[in-house]
Amino acid sequence: MEPSERADEAVFDAVQEMPGHLLRRLQQIAVSMFLAECRDHDLTPLQFAALAALRDNAPVDQATLGGLIALDRTTIGVVVAKLEERGLATRTVLHRDRRSKMIRLTPRGMQVLDAILPDVEHVQARLLEPLDPDEQRHFMDALRKVVGAHNAVSRAPLRS
Amino acid sequence: MEPSERADEAVFDAVQEMPGHLLRRLQQIAVSMFLAECRDHDLTPLQFAALAALRDNAPVDQATLGGLIALDRTTIGVVVAKLEERGLATRTVLHRDRRSKMIRLTPRGMQVLDAILPDVEHVQARLLEPLDPDEQRHFMDALRKVVGAHNAVSRAPLRS
DNA sequence: GTACTATGATCATAATACTGAATATTAGGG
DNA sequence: CCCTAATATTCAGTATTATGATCATAGTAC
Protein backbone atom coordinates (compact mmCIF):
# COMPACT_ATOMS: atom_id res chain seq x y z
CA MET A 1 0.00 0.00 0.00
CA GLU A 2 1.38 3.39 -0.99
CA PRO A 3 1.54 6.10 1.66
CA SER A 4 -0.93 8.24 -0.27
CA GLU A 5 -3.46 5.41 -0.25
CA ARG A 6 -3.66 4.96 3.50
CA ALA A 7 -7.01 5.04 5.19
CA ASP A 8 -8.45 8.44 6.07
CA GLU A 9 -7.06 9.93 9.26
CA ALA A 10 -4.16 7.48 9.40
CA VAL A 11 -1.40 10.01 8.79
CA PHE A 12 -2.89 12.65 11.06
CA ASP A 13 -3.55 10.11 13.82
CA ALA A 14 0.09 9.04 13.59
CA VAL A 15 1.26 12.63 13.97
CA GLN A 16 -0.84 13.12 17.10
CA GLU A 17 0.97 10.15 18.67
CA MET A 18 4.49 11.20 17.70
CA PRO A 19 6.79 12.02 20.61
CA GLY A 20 7.91 15.24 18.91
CA HIS A 21 4.35 16.49 18.59
CA LEU A 22 3.40 15.61 22.19
CA LEU A 23 6.64 17.12 23.41
CA ARG A 24 5.91 20.40 21.67
CA ARG A 25 2.44 20.51 23.20
CA LEU A 26 3.73 19.73 26.70
CA GLN A 27 6.40 22.42 26.38
CA GLN A 28 3.65 24.82 25.27
CA ILE A 29 1.62 23.85 28.35
CA ALA A 30 4.60 24.06 30.73
CA VAL A 31 5.46 27.60 29.58
CA SER A 32 1.83 28.65 29.81
CA MET A 33 1.52 27.30 33.38
CA PHE A 34 4.82 28.91 34.38
CA LEU A 35 3.80 32.34 33.10
CA ALA A 36 0.40 32.14 34.78
CA GLU A 37 1.80 31.02 38.14
CA CYS A 38 4.72 33.48 38.11
CA ARG A 39 2.79 36.41 36.64
CA ASP A 40 3.49 38.56 39.74
CA HIS A 41 7.25 38.27 39.31
CA ASP A 42 7.20 39.04 35.59
CA LEU A 43 9.92 36.52 34.71
CA THR A 44 9.96 34.13 31.76
CA PRO A 45 11.20 30.53 32.20
CA LEU A 46 14.50 31.41 30.52
CA GLN A 47 15.03 34.54 32.59
CA PHE A 48 14.42 32.46 35.71
CA ALA A 49 16.85 29.73 34.60
CA ALA A 50 19.51 32.35 33.87
CA LEU A 51 19.05 33.97 37.29
CA ALA A 52 19.34 30.57 39.00
CA ALA A 53 22.47 29.69 37.02
CA LEU A 54 23.98 33.09 37.84
CA ARG A 55 23.24 32.76 41.54
CA ASP A 56 25.50 29.71 41.83
CA ASN A 57 28.05 30.45 39.11
CA ALA A 58 28.54 34.21 38.81
CA PRO A 59 30.63 35.82 37.58
CA VAL A 60 30.57 34.07 34.21
CA ASP A 61 30.84 35.27 30.64
CA GLN A 62 27.76 35.01 28.41
CA ALA A 63 28.90 32.00 26.43
CA THR A 64 29.58 29.95 29.57
CA LEU A 65 26.27 31.00 31.10
CA GLY A 66 24.54 29.85 27.92
CA GLY A 67 26.29 26.49 28.21
CA LEU A 68 25.03 26.07 31.77
CA ILE A 69 21.38 26.23 30.74
CA ALA A 70 21.73 24.96 27.16
CA LEU A 71 21.17 28.22 25.27
CA ASP A 72 23.05 29.27 22.14
CA ARG A 73 25.09 32.48 22.11
CA THR A 74 22.37 34.63 20.52
CA THR A 75 19.57 33.53 22.83
CA ILE A 76 21.61 33.95 26.01
CA GLY A 77 22.56 37.41 24.75
CA VAL A 78 18.92 38.39 24.43
CA VAL A 79 18.02 36.95 27.85
CA VAL A 80 20.92 38.66 29.63
CA ALA A 81 20.19 41.98 27.90
CA LYS A 82 16.66 41.77 29.26
CA LEU A 83 17.90 40.98 32.78
CA GLU A 84 20.30 43.93 32.60
CA GLU A 85 17.55 46.24 31.32
CA ARG A 86 15.42 45.28 34.32
CA GLY A 87 18.27 45.80 36.76
CA LEU A 88 18.53 42.12 37.75
CA ALA A 89 22.04 41.56 36.36
CA THR A 90 25.09 43.53 35.25
CA ARG A 91 27.48 43.07 32.32
CA THR A 92 31.06 44.26 32.76
CA VAL A 93 33.89 44.01 30.25
CA LEU A 94 37.01 42.30 31.57
CA HIS A 95 40.29 44.22 31.46
CA ARG A 96 42.34 41.11 30.68
CA ASP A 97 40.06 39.97 27.86
CA ARG A 98 38.00 42.77 26.42
CA ARG A 99 35.96 40.33 24.29
CA SER A 100 34.23 38.88 27.33
CA LYS A 101 31.48 40.41 29.38
CA MET A 102 31.19 39.05 32.88
CA ILE A 103 27.63 38.69 34.15
CA ARG A 104 26.66 39.15 37.79
CA LEU A 105 23.40 39.19 39.73
CA THR A 106 22.38 42.45 41.34
CA PRO A 107 20.90 42.46 44.87
CA ARG A 108 17.54 43.05 43.19
CA GLY A 109 18.16 39.98 40.99
CA MET A 110 18.80 37.91 44.13
CA GLN A 111 15.58 39.19 45.70
CA VAL A 112 13.49 38.40 42.63
CA LEU A 113 15.00 34.91 42.42
CA ASP A 114 14.27 34.16 46.07
CA ALA A 115 10.74 35.47 45.66
CA ILE A 116 9.91 33.41 42.59
CA LEU A 117 11.48 30.11 43.69
CA PRO A 118 8.51 28.76 45.69
CA ASP A 119 6.13 29.53 42.82
CA VAL A 120 8.41 27.80 40.31
CA GLU A 121 8.66 24.70 42.49
CA HIS A 122 4.90 24.70 42.86
CA VAL A 123 4.23 24.92 39.14
CA GLN A 124 6.72 22.15 38.41
CA ALA A 125 4.88 19.89 40.84
CA ARG A 126 1.54 20.80 39.28
CA LEU A 127 2.83 19.91 35.83
CA LEU A 128 3.42 16.27 36.81
CA GLU A 129 0.38 16.02 39.07
CA PRO A 130 -1.61 13.89 36.57
CA LEU A 131 0.94 11.11 37.17
CA ASP A 132 1.12 9.09 40.37
CA PRO A 133 4.45 9.25 42.27
CA ASP A 134 5.79 6.09 40.62
CA GLU A 135 4.94 7.32 37.14
CA GLN A 136 6.48 10.70 37.94
CA ARG A 137 9.78 9.05 38.90
CA HIS A 138 9.87 6.93 35.76
CA PHE A 139 8.91 9.87 33.57
CA MET A 140 11.69 12.04 34.99
CA ASP A 141 14.20 9.18 34.70
CA ALA A 142 13.28 8.71 31.04
CA LEU A 143 13.45 12.44 30.40
CA ARG A 144 16.93 12.66 31.92
CA LYS A 145 18.07 9.59 29.99
CA VAL A 146 16.90 10.84 26.59
CA VAL A 147 18.15 14.39 27.12
CA GLY A 148 21.50 13.09 28.34
CA ALA A 149 21.93 10.72 25.42
CA HIS A 150 21.09 13.37 22.83
CA ASN A 151 22.80 16.32 24.51
CA ALA A 152 25.54 16.53 21.89
CA VAL A 153 22.92 16.67 19.10
CA SER A 154 21.40 19.85 20.50
CA ARG A 155 22.48 23.11 18.88
CA ALA A 156 23.24 24.39 22.34
CA PRO A 157 24.54 21.43 24.33
CA LEU A 158 24.81 21.61 28.10
CA ARG A 159 28.41 22.21 29.16
CA SER A 160 29.31 21.65 32.79
CA MET B 1 17.04 27.96 56.46
CA GLU B 2 16.26 30.85 54.15
CA PRO B 3 16.33 30.24 50.38
CA SER B 4 19.21 32.69 49.98
CA GLU B 5 21.28 30.73 52.50
CA ARG B 6 21.20 27.40 50.68
CA ALA B 7 24.43 25.64 49.88
CA ASP B 8 26.24 26.66 46.72
CA GLU B 9 24.87 25.08 43.56
CA ALA B 10 21.67 23.98 45.26
CA VAL B 11 19.31 26.28 43.34
CA PHE B 12 20.97 25.71 40.02
CA ASP B 13 21.08 21.94 40.55
CA ALA B 14 17.37 22.01 41.30
CA VAL B 15 16.65 23.87 38.07
CA GLN B 16 18.57 21.30 36.04
CA GLU B 17 16.28 18.59 37.43
CA MET B 18 13.02 20.44 36.89
CA PRO B 19 10.62 18.86 34.40
CA GLY B 20 10.09 22.20 32.67
CA HIS B 21 13.80 22.66 32.07
CA LEU B 22 14.36 19.10 30.81
CA LEU B 23 11.26 19.40 28.65
CA ARG B 24 12.55 22.56 27.03
CA ARG B 25 15.89 20.90 26.31
CA LEU B 26 14.25 17.80 24.84
CA GLN B 27 12.02 19.95 22.63
CA GLN B 28 15.16 21.82 21.51
CA ILE B 29 16.80 18.49 20.68
CA ALA B 30 13.71 17.10 18.91
CA VAL B 31 13.43 20.15 16.64
CA SER B 32 17.14 20.05 15.91
CA MET B 33 17.00 16.34 14.96
CA PHE B 34 13.88 16.89 12.85
CA LEU B 35 15.44 19.72 10.86
CA ALA B 36 18.67 17.80 10.30
CA GLU B 37 16.89 14.61 9.17
CA CYS B 38 14.35 16.43 6.98
CA ARG B 39 16.75 19.02 5.59
CA ASP B 40 16.16 17.79 2.00
CA HIS B 41 12.43 18.48 2.23
CA ASP B 42 12.83 21.95 3.73
CA LEU B 43 9.86 21.63 6.08
CA THR B 44 9.69 22.71 9.73
CA PRO B 45 7.96 20.49 12.31
CA LEU B 46 4.90 22.76 12.33
CA GLN B 47 4.67 22.91 8.53
CA PHE B 48 4.79 19.11 8.49
CA ALA B 49 2.10 18.81 11.17
CA ALA B 50 -0.13 21.23 9.26
CA LEU B 51 0.31 19.27 6.02
CA ALA B 52 -0.54 16.01 7.80
CA ALA B 53 -3.62 17.53 9.43
CA LEU B 54 -4.72 18.96 6.08
CA ARG B 55 -4.26 15.66 4.28
CA ASP B 56 -6.92 14.02 6.44
CA ASN B 57 -9.19 16.98 7.21
CA ALA B 58 -9.16 19.39 4.25
CA PRO B 59 -10.90 21.55 3.49
CA VAL B 60 -10.88 23.33 6.85
CA ASP B 61 -10.74 26.95 7.90
CA GLN B 62 -7.60 28.25 9.60
CA ALA B 63 -9.01 28.33 13.13
CA THR B 64 -10.14 24.71 12.95
CA LEU B 65 -6.83 23.62 11.48
CA GLY B 66 -5.06 25.36 14.35
CA GLY B 67 -7.24 23.46 16.80
CA LEU B 68 -6.29 20.15 15.20
CA ILE B 69 -2.58 20.64 15.92
CA ALA B 70 -2.88 22.90 18.98
CA LEU B 71 -1.77 26.19 17.45
CA ASP B 72 -3.26 29.58 18.24
CA ARG B 73 -4.88 31.68 15.50
CA THR B 74 -1.82 33.83 14.82
CA THR B 75 0.70 30.99 14.59
CA ILE B 76 -1.47 28.86 12.31
CA GLY B 77 -1.90 31.93 10.10
CA VAL B 78 1.86 32.29 9.71
CA VAL B 79 2.35 28.57 9.04
CA VAL B 80 -0.40 28.43 6.42
CA ALA B 81 0.87 31.59 4.73
CA LYS B 82 4.26 29.92 4.40
CA LEU B 83 2.69 26.74 2.96
CA GLU B 84 0.75 28.84 0.45
CA GLU B 85 3.84 30.83 -0.49
CA ARG B 86 5.62 27.57 -1.25
CA GLY B 87 2.72 26.22 -3.30
CA LEU B 88 1.91 23.39 -0.87
CA ALA B 89 -1.56 24.65 0.13
CA THR B 90 -4.23 27.07 -1.07
CA ARG B 91 -6.46 29.52 0.80
CA THR B 92 -9.84 30.28 -0.71
CA VAL B 93 -12.53 32.55 0.70
CA LEU B 94 -15.92 30.88 1.07
CA HIS B 95 -18.88 32.44 -0.76
CA ARG B 96 -21.29 31.70 2.07
CA ASP B 97 -19.00 33.10 4.76
CA ARG B 98 -16.42 35.52 3.47
CA ARG B 99 -14.70 35.70 6.86
CA SER B 100 -13.38 32.15 6.56
CA LYS B 101 -10.59 30.95 4.35
CA MET B 102 -10.72 27.27 3.49
CA ILE B 103 -7.33 25.58 3.33
CA ARG B 104 -6.55 22.74 0.95
CA LEU B 105 -3.44 20.75 0.04
CA THR B 106 -2.10 21.14 -3.48
CA PRO B 107 -0.86 18.05 -5.40
CA ARG B 108 2.63 19.34 -4.67
CA GLY B 109 1.76 19.49 -0.97
CA MET B 110 0.64 15.85 -1.10
CA GLN B 111 3.88 14.86 -2.81
CA VAL B 112 6.04 16.65 -0.26
CA LEU B 113 4.11 15.08 2.60
CA ASP B 114 4.48 11.57 1.17
CA ALA B 115 8.17 12.17 0.60
CA ILE B 116 8.91 13.43 4.09
CA LEU B 117 6.85 10.88 6.04
CA PRO B 118 9.46 8.07 6.19
CA ASP B 119 12.11 10.53 7.40
CA VAL B 120 9.79 11.92 10.07
CA GLU B 121 8.98 8.43 11.31
CA HIS B 122 12.67 7.61 11.39
CA VAL B 123 13.62 10.67 13.40
CA GLN B 124 10.81 10.04 15.90
CA ALA B 125 12.15 6.53 16.47
CA ARG B 126 15.70 7.86 16.86
CA LEU B 127 14.54 10.35 19.48
CA LEU B 128 13.39 7.59 21.85
CA GLU B 129 16.20 5.18 20.99
CA PRO B 130 18.05 5.76 24.29
CA LEU B 131 15.10 4.07 26.02
CA ASP B 132 14.40 0.33 25.81
CA PRO B 133 10.99 -0.66 24.36
CA ASP B 134 9.36 -0.91 27.78
CA GLU B 135 10.61 2.49 28.84
CA GLN B 136 9.50 3.97 25.52
CA ARG B 137 5.96 2.71 26.07
CA HIS B 138 5.81 4.09 29.61
CA PHE B 139 7.30 7.41 28.53
CA MET B 140 4.75 7.83 25.75
CA ASP B 141 1.91 6.80 28.07
CA ALA B 142 3.01 9.39 30.61
CA LEU B 143 3.41 12.05 27.94
CA ARG B 144 -0.11 11.41 26.63
CA LYS B 145 -1.52 11.40 30.16
CA VAL B 146 0.06 14.71 31.18
CA VAL B 147 -0.75 16.45 27.90
CA GLY B 148 -4.31 15.18 28.00
CA ALA B 149 -4.84 16.29 31.59
CA HIS B 150 -3.48 19.78 30.98
CA ASN B 151 -4.91 20.30 27.49
CA ALA B 152 -7.37 22.91 28.64
CA VAL B 153 -4.58 24.91 30.31
CA SER B 154 -2.79 25.39 27.02
CA ARG B 155 -3.41 28.68 25.23
CA ALA B 156 -4.17 26.67 22.11
CA PRO B 157 -5.96 23.53 23.30
CA LEU B 158 -6.44 20.61 20.97
CA ARG B 159 -9.99 20.55 19.61
CA SER B 160 -11.15 17.38 17.90
C1' DG C 1 55.96 41.51 14.04
C1' DT C 2 52.79 39.82 10.88
C1' DA C 3 49.52 36.32 9.55
C1' DC C 4 46.44 32.90 10.84
C1' DT C 5 43.24 31.00 13.89
C1' DA C 6 40.22 30.85 17.72
C1' DT C 7 36.95 33.07 20.67
C1' DG C 8 33.16 36.37 22.56
C1' DA C 9 29.71 39.20 21.30
C1' DT C 10 26.44 41.36 18.09
C1' DC C 11 23.43 41.93 13.94
C1' DA C 12 20.21 40.43 10.44
C1' DT C 13 16.95 37.09 9.50
C1' DA C 14 13.65 33.42 10.31
C1' DA C 15 10.40 30.15 12.66
C1' DT C 16 7.69 29.25 16.81
C1' DA C 17 4.32 30.94 20.17
C1' DC C 18 1.39 34.09 22.45
C1' DT C 19 -1.60 38.52 23.71
C1' DG C 20 -4.30 42.39 22.70
C1' DA C 21 -6.21 45.33 19.27
C1' DA C 22 -8.14 46.21 14.80
C1' DT C 23 -10.83 44.84 10.68
C1' DA C 24 -14.27 42.45 8.19
C1' DT C 25 -18.16 39.80 8.03
C1' DT C 26 -22.14 37.29 9.65
C1' DA C 27 -26.21 36.50 12.55
C1' DG C 28 -29.77 37.74 15.74
C1' DG C 29 -32.94 41.00 18.30
C1' DG C 30 -35.63 44.71 18.23
C1' DC D 1 -33.63 47.66 8.58
C1' DC D 2 -30.33 48.90 12.17
C1' DC D 3 -27.61 47.84 16.22
C1' DT D 4 -25.11 44.62 18.63
C1' DA D 5 -22.83 40.36 19.53
C1' DA D 6 -20.16 36.76 17.79
C1' DT D 7 -16.70 34.92 14.63
C1' DA D 8 -12.47 34.70 11.29
C1' DT D 9 -8.59 36.75 10.14
C1' DT D 10 -4.87 39.98 10.39
C1' DC D 11 -1.61 43.24 12.60
C1' DA D 12 1.54 45.03 16.14
C1' DG D 13 4.32 43.76 19.73
C1' DT D 14 7.05 40.47 22.68
C1' DA D 15 9.69 36.25 23.81
C1' DT D 16 11.99 31.95 22.54
C1' DT D 17 15.27 29.62 19.64
C1' DA D 18 18.21 29.04 16.01
C1' DT D 19 21.68 30.07 11.81
C1' DG D 20 25.02 32.67 9.24
C1' DA D 21 27.71 36.80 8.93
C1' DT D 22 30.47 40.29 10.93
C1' DC D 23 33.51 42.61 14.18
C1' DA D 24 36.75 43.00 17.88
C1' DT D 25 40.06 40.88 20.47
C1' DA D 26 43.33 37.35 21.88
C1' DG D 27 46.71 33.68 21.15
C1' DT D 28 49.94 31.14 18.28
C1' DA D 29 53.16 30.06 14.42
C1' DC D 30 56.48 31.58 11.68
Q: Look at residue B144 and tell me whether its pLDDT is greater than 50.
A: yes
How far does CA B44 lie from the centroid of its chain?
9
Q: For residues A127 and B147, is the Cβ–Cβ distance under 8 A?
A: no
**Which residues, 6 or more positions from A137, have their beta carbon under 8 angstroms from its beta carbon?**
none
Please state whether strand C lies within 7 Å of residue B46 at its CB atom. yes
Band the pLDDT of B158: cuts 50, 70, 90: low
With the CA atoms of B65, B71, B72 and B74 taken in that order, what torsion angle do they form, in degrees rounded to the nearest 10?
Answer: -80
End-to-end CA distance of chain A, in Å? Answer: 49
Written as tens digits, the pLDDT of chain A (160 aa) is 454 444 556 788 899 999 999 999 999 999 999 998 888 898 999 999 999 999 999 789 998 999 999 999 899 999 999 999 999 999 998 888 888 899 999 999 999 999 999 999 999 999 999 999 999 999 999 999 999 999 877 656 666 6
Nearest-CA neighbor of B79 among B100, B110, B112, B53?
B53
**pLDDT of amino acid A96:** 81
Nucleotides of C under 7 A from a protein CB: 7-13, 15-20, 24-27
Averaged pLDDT, B53-67 = 91
Distance CA A26, CA A21 (A): 9
Identity of residue B15: V
- pLDDT tens digits for range A98-135: 888 999 999 999 999 999 999 999 999 999 999 999 99
Chain B hits for A19, Cβ within 8 Å: 30, 124, 127-128, 139-140, 143
Chain D: positions less than 7 Å from a protein CB are 7-13, 15-20, 24-27
Q: Which residues of B touch A23 (CB under 8 A)?
A: 23, 26-27, 30, 143
State how far the Cα of A129 lies from the Cα of B135, in Å rounded to an integer. 20
Q: Count the Cβ atoms, other than its own, within 10 Å of residue A15.
A: 24
Please list the alpha-helical segments (H only) found in chain B.
Answer: 10-16, 19-37, 45-57, 62-68, 73-85, 107-128, 133-150
- Tell me, rounded to whole angstroms, the distance of Cα B154 from its chain centroid: 13
CA of A156: nearest nucleotide by C1' is D18
- A70 phi and psi angles, rounded to 5 deg: 60, 55
The answer, for B10 touching chain A at a CB cutoff of 8 Å, is yes
